[in-house]
Amino acid sequence: MKKFTAKIFSLSFITLTTIFLLVVANVPTQILLTKVRSPQPQAILVLGGGTGRERFALEFAQKHPNLPIWVSGGSPSERQVLIQADIDSQRVHLDNRATDTVTNFTTTVNALLENNIHHVYLITSDFHMRRSRAIATVVFGSRGIIVTPVSVSSGQPREETSRVLRDVARSFLWVFSGRTGASLNPRLTQQAQFSIRDLI
């Protein structure tokens, strides 16, 4: 009986490991194919929650008048910068579902695909870009979307590697299960009444 149980466990472990490796290997393949298929960005994705990101995005959008703009998260006052600017409202898509950086990507990926967008300019603060790109590589990359980073100067130090690794793990959790683990973050329940920028 022990040998049978050990064999089942071994087979299960090998199967799960194989599936994991196949998924991991699929991400760079998807990214390479997308680079060939969509070499130029088709939209602008702004990660809200950082002072100055929306104002920078406004200037950037004015230089790229044919690209739609997606804003994920951010406070109402920050988003008003884009809404009140001299930009066609049809270009601006606001999404308030994100609760942190991982969900900035998991909540927008399907909407981008529905609009046949496979390459976006990614706008966020410079200190935040490394983590954002890492998450985008897993979440967007697994769905055939790539990013061209555009950093906003902040004067802040780069985020800790531990935060990057944590969110990469959460991104893989989403790829496999459709869940991000955001509900496990105690700050979400303690600070739900605050601006989204406090959670990023």
Give me the pLDDT at residue 11, please. Answer: 65
Q: pLDDT at position 6, please? A: 60
- Residue 45, judged by CB atoms within 10 A of its CB (0-12, 13-18, 19+), counts as buried
Query: How many C-alpha atoms does 53 have within 13 Å on its Cβ side?
Result: 31
Strand order in the sheet with 119-125: 92-95, 69-72, 43-47, 119-125, 146-152
Q: Which of 22, 46, 25 is nearest to 104 (CA)?
A: 46
pLDDT of residue 68: 94
CA distances from 199 to 12, 73, 100, 166 (A): 37, 10, 6, 15
Share of the chain above pLDDT 70, in %: 71
CA 174 remoteness from chain centre: 11
pTM of the model: 0.79
Q: Which amino acid is residue 103, in one-letter code?
A: T
Average confidence (pLDDT) over 25-50 = 82
Q: What is the pLDDT of residue 186?
A: 46
Helix or strand run (H / E) with residue 57: helix 53-63
For 117-155, the pLDDT digits (tens) are 999 999 999 999 999 999 999 999 999 999 999 999 988
User: Token pair 């496979």 is at which residue?
Assistant: 118
What is the three-class DSSP state of 122? strand
3-class DSSP assignment, residue 96? coil
Q: Which amino acid is at 74?
A: G
Domains and CATH numbers, the chain: 2-199 (3.40.50.620)
